[in-house]
Structure 1
Amino acid sequence: MPVTALYPEYKYPSRSRQELYGDDILVHVGLRGNRLFAAPSTHRVPPAMTFAAFLTDIVTPWVSSDPELDPQGLRGWTLDGSAITPEDTATLADLGVGHKSLLTFEA
């Protein structure tokens, strides 16, 4: 049952708002179609990080915990529900990754 607020504004700021992380952002990373990784994981990264460094430093160690998954076969990237084709030299900011963006892929 929905509840109606008695005041027009929300007085409680998010505890994960971007200014609490300085120059870094939170990025949610999800693997579609894998039951071991049923929910996305969240990582704190600088937006100036290249996509290649993001794969090497963040994604590969995370997906390597599944012994049946090949980290070299990641494909089908989406950013917040839209398909993207990331280049290794592009930064996360260049790709449009923002605070609390969701990057998903298939393996």
Structure 2
Amino acid sequence: MAVTSAAPYDFPQQDTADKFPAPLLYIGWEDHKMFCAPFCVPMPPATRFGDMVQGALPGLYGAHPDFARIDWNRAEWFVSGKPFTPDMDKTVAENGLGHKSVIRFRTPGLTGLQGSCF
């Protein structure tokens, strides 16, 4: 993100990948306001995308009543707001995701608690 400052702004970045156990990945579920913002999780780059979906996402979003009804074959994915088609058999890194990448997914037919987001 660009910074505009009134004076020189020359400070080293403090949240580089080497300061975390694994690169940070922001993951958000569109149209589900039970979760107000994407989760930020350390995600090893060698993690298979499909393993992240089946392993990490239930722990993050499984409390939502809609989660068990997700048809992952119909899920729509976005990286930094742009449509993205992940390869479930490739790693997070092979899918082009790195430190502080933002991914979001939309689940057609599931629009929040009792359809509250439409």
Q: TM-score range by the shorter chain?
A: 0.7 to 0.9
With the length of structure 2 as denominator, give the TM-score of the two structures.
0.75
Aligned to 1:17: 16
Q: Deviation of residue 71 (structure 1)? A: 5.7
CA RMSD, 1 decimal? 1.9
Amino acid in structure 2 at the alignment position of 1:49: T
Structure 1 stretches of at least 4 aligned residues deviating more than 6 Å after TM superposition: none
Aligned ranges 1:10-89 → 2 under 5 Å: 10-14=10-14, 16-21=15-20, 24-70=22-68, 72-74=70-72, 75-89=75-89
With the length of structure 1 as denominator, give the TM-score of the two structures.
0.82
What is the aligned residue count? 102
Deviations along 1:9-61, one digit per CA (max 9) or x if unpaired, are 422532x2112126x21000011111101200001011111011111221122
Percent sequence identity over aligned pairs: 24
SS class of match (1:105)? strand
- In 2, the alpha carbon distance for the partners of 1:3 and 1:93 equals 33
